[in-house]
Structure 1
């Protein structure tokens, strides 16, 4: 079987430090036969370091859709959108052809529901709860979801004081377990591997959503290669025709699609 190819898109401006974190994660957790391209959006068009606000989400949605279409045309098997809001998930799926598309929230829910009856999600701030809760219910996991637990930090604050971030994550995790959660999902962290420390302290499985989305994309890619299963693009998933896209010049222009790319090769 040829190497499977996955693109992990960080849907904000390229940032060497953040890009490296995701590339290190891919290197540590992918299978040997998997090639991962870690990409980000071009800073000139999308200068955001986070998309905590719906305003920023709306502005980057076009970039995510362009990236998904570009990845599909490059022959990637799967594509993941690196934000727990699952920004533009349905839009990207529609235009992605035979390429599977996933994102951290839906991937974490799928994995958590296969391993426990009740799971909680740790989030940065209470602002996230309404939108993420709506997604979890839409995905069909509302009955398995036991609640959000905030740590009171913005996305940009997570990397400023690792000790304080870890203290808050552990405290939120303890509250969730005390309330009956059987599994914890880390909704927005870039402390790849820290979930193991939380598991040891809390005594329940802890899912890092970045790793979950990578592994769920990899699983979809393997299903394509081994079983021939590809996403449906009929009915509600129907995409615009290529003729119509060309008529509207919907993806025209010379602007770059990606601001950065790190290739983690298959070994």
Structure 2
């Protein structure tokens, strides 16, 4: 494999917030392989001051920013690009314009990992509102037959990190229902902001608990290794066909302006620096 470090970008489709960015920089530092460089980035303020994208209308608004970020990451030579939302927002759209760069997202990555650990898994989500859309995403990825159910804890995206003891209590309660009543053999945390709770839940519930932000990062990292070592380059044929560059240039909006609102770089050594902070 090349002596150059693997480069993975973890892109949060919300506006820059340094506390938010540092949560995911810490996640990357704790879980990446030695020799992998991770850039944690966010949506620029020019795309809207989003603190979450729980609503489909919010998702629609940030899709352009995700596409622009994916194009810029590919230009910068990143091996992998992670869309940091469990809705897997704009996953297929970003892949179209990403060239030979790997593009992953949390729901798809988590379900793939869960399917290698167990025959049946449950997903703990923040609010009932999310279930309809997430059910469709799990179905699209081909894992509906493995799903024991969705278990909501009535916490919004921005609330998971406010009171850790209360969040953990609710997650354990939902997890017990999934495992003891619906016989789930593994659990997925259905929001990237549930980062940091998987190990204690796994200890308490006795089943593997998958953190979706870690899952997406590791799937991107693994796919990037396969691309380098085994020549498994993403296809851009048929349904993955990219739009013609001349059409995108004529339409406008794909490349203009800043693609990122902030950037925390976790170097291959594990040290981190802030660049281009908004």
Give the TM-score taking structure 1 as reference length: 0.97
Match of 2:276 in 1: none
1:151 aligns with 2:125: no
Match of 1:129 in 2: 131
For residues 243-265 of structure 1, the C-alpha deviation after alignment (integer angstroms, 9 at most, x for no partner) is 22222234243x21100001111
Pick aligned residue for 1:223 from 226, 229, 240: 226
1:236 aligns with 2:249: no
SS at match of 2:124: strand
SS at match of 1:44: helix
Residue 45 of structure 1: how far off its partner (Å): 2.2
Aligned equivalents of 1:157, 1:63: Cα separation in 2: 24
Aligned equivalents of 1:98, 1:170: Cα separation in 2: 40
Q: Are the counterparts in 1 of residues 11 and 82 from structure 2 also a CA contact under 8 Å?
A: yes
Q: Are the counterparts in 2 of residues 10 and 41 from structure 1 also a CA contact under 8 Å?
A: yes
Match of 1:202 in 2: 205
Q: Are the counterparts in 1 of residues 68 and 255 from structure 2 also a CA contact under 8 Å?
A: no
Match of 1:181 in 2: 184
Residue 53 of structure 1: how far off its partner (Å): 0.4
SS at match of 1:214: helix
Aligned equivalents of 2:258, 2:253: Cα separation in 1: 15
Aligned equivalents of 2:85, 2:19: Cα separation in 1: 17
Pick aligned residue for 2:266 from 249, 264, 267: 264
1:49 aligns with 2:47: no
Q: Are the counterparts in 2 of residues 158 and 189 from structure 1 also a CA contact under 8 Å?
A: no
1:57-136 to 2 correspondence within 5 Å?
57-136=59-138
Aligned equivalents of 1:262, 1:106: Cα separation in 2: 25
SS at match of 1:25: helix
Q: Are the counterparts in 1 of residues 67 and 97 from structure 2 also a CA contact under 8 Å?
A: yes
Residue 194 of structure 1: how far off its partner (Å): 2.1
Give the TM-score taking structure 2 as reference length: 0.93
Q: Structure 1: which 5+ residue stretches go unaligned?
A: none
Aligned equivalents of 2:68, 2:255: Cα separation in 1: 10
Aligned equivalents of 2:94, 2:255: Cα separation in 1: 17
1:102 to 1:10, Cα distance in 2 relative to 1, 3 A: same
RMSD: 1.1
Q: Are the counterparts in 2 of residues 121 and 149 from structure 1 also a CA contact under 8 Å?
A: yes
SS at match of 2:100: coil
Match of 2:275 in 1: none
